[in-house]
Structure 1
Amino acid sequence: MTAIKHSLQRDIFTPNDERLLSIVNVCKAGKKKKNLCNVFLCQRCQQVYRWVASSTAEKNSFISCIWKLNQRYLRKKVEFVNVSAQLLEGVPSLRSVPSGENQSVAGGDEDALDDYQELNAREEQDIEGMMEVCEYAISNAEAFAEKLSSELQVLDGANIQSIMASEKQVNILMHLLDEALAEVDTIEGKLSSYEEMLQSVKEQMDQISQSNRIIQISSTNNHKLLGEIEFLVNHMDLSKGHIKALQDGDLSSPKGIEACINASEALLQCMNVALRPGHEKLTAVKQQQQLFCELRDTFARRLTNHLNNVFVHQGHDQSSTLAQNTAELTLPKHHPLHRDLLRYAKLMEWLKSTQREKYEGLSRTYVDYMTRLYDREIKDFFEVAKIKMAGTTKEGKNKFATLPRKESALKQETESLHGSSGKLTGSTSSLNKLAVQGSNSRRSQSSSLLDMGNMSASDLDVADRTKFDKIFEQVLSELEPLCLAEQDFIIKFFKLQQQPALAQVMTLSLFFSHGNIFYFCFFRKDMVRMMMTKIFACIEMELNSLIALGDKIDTFNSLYMLVKMSHHVWTAENVDPASYLSTTLGNVLVTVKRNFDKCIFGQIKQMEEVKISKKSKVGILPFVTSFEEFAELAETIFRNAERRGDLDKAYVKLIRAIFTNVEKVANESQKTPRDVVMMENFHHIFSTLSRLKISCLEAERREAKHKYTDYLQAYVINSLGQPLEKLNHFFEGVEARVAQGVREEEVSYQLAFNKQELRKVIKEYPGKEVKKGLDNLYKKVDKHLCEEESLLQVVWHSMQDEFIRQYKHFEGLIGRCYPGSGITMEFTIQDMLEYFSSIAQSH
């Protein structure tokens, strides 16, 4: 079988680069089992064969052989169908098959396929050499096998003889083997003893290793314990010096305050240390924390009591300079108080973080104390300001009486100016009596515009108003730094700057009402504003009272107050738009603006209510003069002011009201012709607007000029009328005939308008009569016009021009209607110019 396999591999499979895996011996089925051929199975079969087994054992043996070959050599296993797994896994050995059956299925060299081993190269060479010696090895395998069997028997006999010949050597070998075995036993005994010794050493080493691990764990634990102890000692140990400073440190000296600050910060660090898990259960830690709490409470009480005492003592020291400052219209400076208290700012921060209730209580105490202090200072300050403000008018006959200087009298006189509403209580107060006494007293709210204008011109001169402006500015200038300094101190002392955890919102609360949720954010600025509002609660009230007094003294004072207040509001908003000062001044500015609007409305109302005497000429109306005074004053006050727009709006309202009421008065005038009232007043308005150059009233200025020109011309024509009355009537008749269609050169043929009638009319107006008539006309115009406007010469010159125009018109009619008649007027144009000139000079 081996030779056959070798030949098949060499001749058939090797040329095709294939490998023969195994061979199976089969025979033809029949009664006589005759070996037909040796059939081989290749890895890839291209033909389908049918195999028939004579018995179940042969079938099983064949299938088992095929399955083993499949399992051993094929990568892609062939699937066996309809074959039980028990047969494939546990097929009985071919050796159990009877010899007769075995010969019909497989050869004797395939008894145990599991023990099959592939020939190596040397074995193949030997077999090939042997097969070459025997030529019939392939053609007659049985003969070749018999030959090999005989040769094998010969070799076995030779081997046996060789073994028998070497019995002595075998005995020697056996003896040596026995000695070797004895040595092996000896060595095994020694090895056993060594093993026992090593086992003991191993146990000792294990014990040493275990001890080392325990020592290492103990060392690690000791290091960790030491670290924990060092952590607690470093972070929760407060020095004796700090403890002494907290218990009885001097809070009045700079060194003592610094020591207390350092001690309080150290205490806060100890109390805020982040303990590790388990630390809070240690007795020492609990004792130390209890000590810290006691020190905190003790120092908090000491600090609170000391600061309360500081507030009181500082207040007494501050009151000593109060009278001197108020007499000079200055507010006491609190810089020393702030400087001394700011030394405790860090302690206040500590108190805020450790004892919130004491911090808030101390804040309330400070606010209450400062409220009383500032209330007293500010009220006294405003009382002096009101006295000085009321004393700005001139003293003398029918003017303000001399105001008392003593403090008690000052308080009595200004008592009526105080109250929750901040308004003047009425005319019964002593200060109001001083302000309005005298036969020619100051204007009141019910006084007419005429009276107000006259009084403004006589009593309230520029010096008075300038002094009032300085007083009001002084008041605002004193209040502004006072409020800013106090606000800055509150922020620094009470530590109301932004905090890490409360950068924007200090408190967030939820309020539930009827199912709705309202969120209220409380900002730090609101806290500052709340404290400032309470401390300076009287400022807004006192400012409104002062403004009311200034407005009562002179309504034009609202202009000064509007400009000054606007400027200070603008300044405060640039510093801090949300500050208390900005908010308060903004509220007061609303009042000032309201007074300003009331002043404008009052002037307009008084224009409408003005009454002119029927027995005297009108002249320049009082509200026109008042507007001039108002505009001059306003232009001086509002130069480069922030609220210029308010003034421009007021200008437009006033000028339109003036235009309307000038015409109204002119229509009602009985003594002075309407044209004169319109001409003079619009001339005055035009002159005022031209001089002041108010840009927002440029259109009104042009309108005033137009009205003045129109009414001047109308007055001249109406007043001059027909100075040569009969001559005028004569030529009117001539013009009527021409208008009816009569030719001009034929008019002289009309009976009523012939040359003789013309000469008769002309003779009635000699030069002396004309001059006399003009002189009477001049006196009449002089009675109509007022002196302050100085329009007489303007009107007289316009009448001269109108008279000359009429004269030339008459001459033209004579030349056209009476040509060649030689008729002329009794006087010439040059004579008229001399008449007008001499009349003007004589008056």
Structure 2
Amino acid sequence: MAASSADDAELRRACAAAIGGAGSRQDIVLAIRVAKGRGILEKLGGRVAKPRVLALTAAQNSSKGQRPKAFLHVLKYSSGGVVEPAKLYKLKHLAKVEVISNDPTGCTFILGFDNLRSQSVAPPQWTMRNIDDRNRLLLCILNMCREMLGRLPKFVGIDIVEMALWAKENTPAVINQVNTQDGPAASVMTQRDLKVTVEKDLVSQAEEEDMEALLGTYVMGVGEAEAFSERLKRELLALEAANVHALLESEPVIKEVLRGLEAASVCVDDMDEWLRIFNVKLRHMREDIESIESRNNQLEMQSVNNKALIDELDKLLERLRIPSEFAASLTGGSFDEARMLKNVEACEWLAGAICSLEVPNLDPCYAHMRAVKEKRAELEKLKKTFVRRASEFLRNYFSSLVDFMISDKSYFSQRGQLKRPDHADLRYKCRTYARLLQHLKSLDKNCLGPLRKAYCHSLNLLLRREAREFANELRASTKASRNPTFWLEASTGSSQTANSTDTSTVSEAYSKMLTIFIPLLVDESSFFAHFMCFEVPAFVPPGAPTNGTKSESDGNDANDDDLSLMDFDGNNVKSSNNSGELGTLNEALQDLLDGIQEDFYAVVDWAYKIDPLRCISMHGITERYLSGQKADAAGFVRKLLDDLESKISMQFGKFVDEACHQIEKNERNIRQMGVLSYIPRFATLATRMEQYIQGQSRELIDQAYTKLVSTMFATLEKIAQSDPKYADIVLLENYAAFQNSLYDLANVVPMLAKFYHQASEAYEQACTRHINIIIYMQFERLFQFARKIEDLMYTITPEEIPFQLGLSKMDLRKVLKSSLSGIDKSINAMYRKLQKNLTSDELLPSLWDKCKKEFLEKYESFVQLVAKVYPNESIPSVTEMRQILASL
């Protein structure tokens, strides 16, 4: 047999050191190397199996007379090559040993344990180096289970007879655990011993020898099977006959046995009767004993119950007792700042007492007791009394605080001095009663509604007074000249629009109004939400500024610890984002801040009267503040900013409508020639509007551009149609002026670029129409003759056209003579006609170039028609005509 790792003494010592390091003394029966994986399938799959060591150990129990314990240790190799424990199994839980059928070598098997936590996970597969190592390990496990545990696991896929034959041929020494009186001891056992052990489970040695002797008495061949069967039948019949004869000979003995059985039956019947009598008496005695024990148990249980009842009643009485100091605070104590700590303690005790008398904090069996009901009613009365007293005090307190601040004029802006509202002192005084409000909410939620209304009403008066005084002084201290609103009127001189005054102070005043009051309103909303115990998240993160400005609280954070509700164990109660609470809060904020928007509207109206274009700057300022207000709970502040944005848009829309009306008034004027007045003024207006936009979204201005330019173009078309003779001249001059005035802005403003291209297309169309009219005025006969030829070429061939009426060669010569003789005069006449009606000499060179180009294209088409229809006729070529035009 090849050398096996089971004989490796160094491996055994390493395993003993690793197992001994675990703190238990165990003797190693067998240690052998294995591979954890899928055996030959693992190798075929390209994956490397994990090396492991399996060690079988035996440990004697401390109590004598018990069987030793058997263990299976799984050890792995550390990164340094040292053996260390990985898993431990008890052999008493080994239920099955199964050899994997998919492995043709037979070296892979599974050890199934019945105590694995997750039976859904397949147990690991162990692969041995060869069949000898496998049989050696499994025989050792089988022997230890039989001798130490007294049972054998189930073997699947293993032929035990084959293992027995292998054990007979291979007899290496195997360490076995022997149980002695003094404890476990290691002994050496050969594989021949193991063979006998295995064979004992199949057939004994004596039975094997008898079977060999029986089979040895016969010489059986293939042809003697029937004779052997007949002989066995004859011998069986002879044996049965001998048995019957023996039974007949023993008849006297049987009768004697029957008489003895009858006598014994009589004795048994007598004894049965006596036993029934004794059984009745014992039953009666047992019933008496049970009755005595039952009465004794009842008395003992009653004693225990009485004691427990007394303890429970003592606890209940302790719950029902009202401390005198708390009763005094709840019914008649003062609400001064010095007494607030005692009032809060009384609130906490009252809330805890009421809660302790409610199910499930109180056993349901006590809930309907008269004493409990009376005490609960007494506590409810205390609660109502305290809530009423505290609510009345707080309503008066809020009103007195605000009245004191309103009566002191130093709190507000005065002439020549803008005063930033400062509510730090007000919030500090309110925080004194924050914990009281939280406990009032826990006692009676309904009491907070009137308190919130009282606080909102009082603070609303203060905020509106502050906003009104601030807005009035802000407008009075801002110096700015009023800009004209008639930007596009025809009667206004250009100097009035060009020399517009600087009105930036108006935008700065509006920005200052928002900078001061928007953070203040957000802080007030946040403080109100937490002070009045709304279960909503914070509006502004602690310490974070609002819109780049410092919070007005200046360290008095709305999330101050004084506003955090504590439970009865001293822990902060965390609020939840309740949509119902959020709606109630926004309704309360409406009452708190309603009316303050009028002062913001007054500033917007004031700024519009000074300079309507400042609506653009104010819209951008409002838009930036609106994007910074992301908290859902600050609903009123968002609504205020939305309303301001709508108000500014409406005012700017009013300005645009007035400008459009000024443009439309040009339509009712007497015949107009040249560039209309609103064309260059619009460029000035657009330039200033772009200066005011300052990086905000372009929607407002783009809408204004769309409306203004659409009105300008529509009015221009109506003015041009009032005199069709000069319509194209008016259009091309005004569209050209529109392009020239907006060239720079169109390069940077996409919306103006769109209208620039629209004006360019309209200009080209007007130019084409006007030039065609001038050309046809001088060369009408020539191009009408060409048109007749083109119309006939759709129906007849070019060779037939000279034979048509009015299109003969003679007619062609007449047309050429009348049109092209004195061509210099005709072309000069075209130039003078083009120059005559233009009011802008700047357009003449480009229009004359377009005119010459259009004339050459038409003349070239005429020359081509003549070459097709009259091939032998000679006319001036296109090159000659181009030279004539260039010389003029």
Q: Indicate which of 324, 334, 350 corresponds to 1:267.
A: 350
Structure-1 residue corresponding to 2:758 = 703
Q: In 1, distance between residues paired with 2:355 and 2:658?
A: 68
Please state if 1:604 is matched with 2:645. Answer: no
Indicate conservation of the 8 Å contact 1:368/1:535, yes or no. yes
Q: Indicate which of 679, 683, 693 corresponds to 1:628.
A: 683
How far off its partner does 1:382 sit?
3.1
Structure-1 residue corresponding to 2:24 = none
Indicate conservation of the 8 Å contact 1:261/1:347, yes or no. yes
Indicate conservation of the 8 Å contact 1:332/1:377, yes or no. yes
Distance 1:710-1:206 versus aligned 2 partners, 3 A rule = closer
Q: In the alignment, residue 511 of structure 2 is paired with which amino acid? A: E
More deviation in 492-501 or 596-605? 492-501
How far off its partner does 1:329 sit?
5.6
Distance 1:388-1:730 versus aligned 2 partners, 3 A rule = same
Give matches, 1:197-596, under 5 Å.
214=299, 217-218=302-303, 220-233=305-318, 235-237=319-321, 242=326, 251-253=335-337, 256-274=339-357, 275-276=362-363, 277-278=365-366, 286=374, 290=378, 293-294=381-382, 297-298=385-386, 301=389, 304-305=392-393, 308-317=396-405, 319-324=408-413, 332-354=421-443, 358-387=447-476, 391-393=479-481, 442-443=484-485, 449-450=489-490, 457-458=497-498, 460-461=500-501, 463-464=502-503, 466-497=504-535, 523-572=580-629, 574-576=630-632, 579-596=635-652
Distance 1:377-1:455 versus aligned 2 partners, 3 A rule = farther
Distance 1:718-1:285 versus aligned 2 partners, 3 A rule = closer
Indicate conservation of the 8 Å contact 1:746/1:817, yes or no. no
Q: CA RMSD in A?
A: 6.0
How far off its partner does 1:330 sit?
6.1
Distance 1:557-1:285 versus aligned 2 partners, 3 A rule = same
Please state if 1:659 is matched with 2:713. Answer: yes
Indicate conservation of the 8 Å contact 2:735/2:759, yes or no. yes
Q: In 2, distance between residues paired with 1:359 and 1:260?
A: 18
Query: What secondary structure is seen at the aligned counterpart in 2 of 1:272?
Result: helix
Indicate conservation of the 8 Å contact 1:393/1:460, yes or no. no
Structure-2 residue corresponding to 1:685 = 738
Structure-1 residue corresponding to 2:274 = none
Structure-1 residue corresponding to 2:36 = none
Indicate conservation of the 8 Å contact 1:238/1:266, yes or no. no
Distance 1:599-1:577 versus aligned 2 partners, 3 A rule = farther
Query: What secondary structure is seen at the aligned counterpart in 2 of 1:686?
Result: helix
Distance 1:640-1:458 versus aligned 2 partners, 3 A rule = closer
Indicate conservation of the 8 Å contact 2:525/2:589, yes or no. yes
Q: In 1, distance between residues paired with 2:434 and 2:246?
A: 103
How far off its partner does 1:697 sit?
5.2
Q: In the alignment, residue 703 of structure 1 is paired with which amino acid? A: Q
Q: In the alignment, residue 750 of structure 2 is paired with which amino acid? A: S
Q: Count the aligned residue pairs.
A: 543
Distance 1:597-1:374 versus aligned 2 partners, 3 A rule = same
Q: In 1, distance between residues paired with 2:525 and 2:329?
A: 31
Q: In 2, distance between residues paired with 1:640 and 1:16?
A: 130
Query: What secondary structure is seen at the aligned counterpart in 1 of 2:356?
Result: coil
Q: In the alignment, residue 517 of structure 2 is paired with which amino acid? A: L
Q: In 1, distance between residues paired with 2:612 and 2:771?
A: 40
Q: In 2, distance between residues paired with 1:363 and 1:828?
A: 91
Distance 1:743-1:18 versus aligned 2 partners, 3 A rule = farther
How far off its partner does 1:777 sit?
9.8
Give matches, 1:635-650, under 5 Å.
635-638=690-693, 640-642=695-697, 644-650=698-704
How far off its partner does 1:495 sit?
1.0
Q: In 1, distance between residues paired with 2:745 and 2:761?
A: 17
TM-score (norm 2): 0.48
CA deviation digits over 1:636-679, x for unaligned, max 9? 4556535x445444433433322221222234479x96445323
More helix as a share of residues: 1
How far off its partner does 1:18 sit?
13
How far off its partner does 1:347 sit?
0.8
CA deviation digits over 1:56-84, x for unaligned, max 9? xxxxxxxxxxxxxxxxxxxxxxxxxxxxx
Q: In 1, distance between residues paired with 2:765 and 2:403?
A: 73
Indicate conservation of the 8 Å contact 1:267/1:292, yes or no. no
Q: In the alignment, residue 705 of structure 1 is paired with which amino acid? A: S
Q: In 2, distance between residues paired with 1:488 and 1:207?
A: 75
Please state if 1:121 is matched with 2:249. Answer: no
Q: In 2, distance between residues paired with 1:215 and 1:808?
A: 131
Q: In the alignment, residue 488 of structure 1 is paired with which amino acid? A: S
Indicate conservation of the 8 Å contact 2:460/2:591, yes or no. yes
Q: In 2, distance between residues paired with 1:547 and 1:273?
A: 59
Q: In the alignment, residue 260 of structure 1 is paired with which amino acid? A: N
Give matches, 1:177-196, under 5 Å.
none
Q: In the alignment, residue 702 of structure 1 is paired with which amino acid? A: H
Distance 1:459-1:216 versus aligned 2 partners, 3 A rule = same
State, as a whole percentage, how many aligned pairs show the same letter.
13
Distance 1:808-1:247 versus aligned 2 partners, 3 A rule = closer
How far off its partner does 1:538 sit?
1.0
Q: In the alignment, residue 795 of structure 1 is paired with which amino acid? A: L
Structure-2 residue corresponding to 1:65 = none
Q: In 1, distance between residues paired with 2:392 and 2:427?
A: 17
How far off its partner does 1:537 sit?
1.9
CA deviation digits over 1:204-248, x for unaligned, max 9? x99999789657634542343223313442x45565665565577
Over alpha carbons, which structure has the higher Rg? 1
How far off its partner does 1:348 sit?
0.9
Query: What secondary structure is seen at the aligned counterpart in 2 of 1:372?
Result: helix
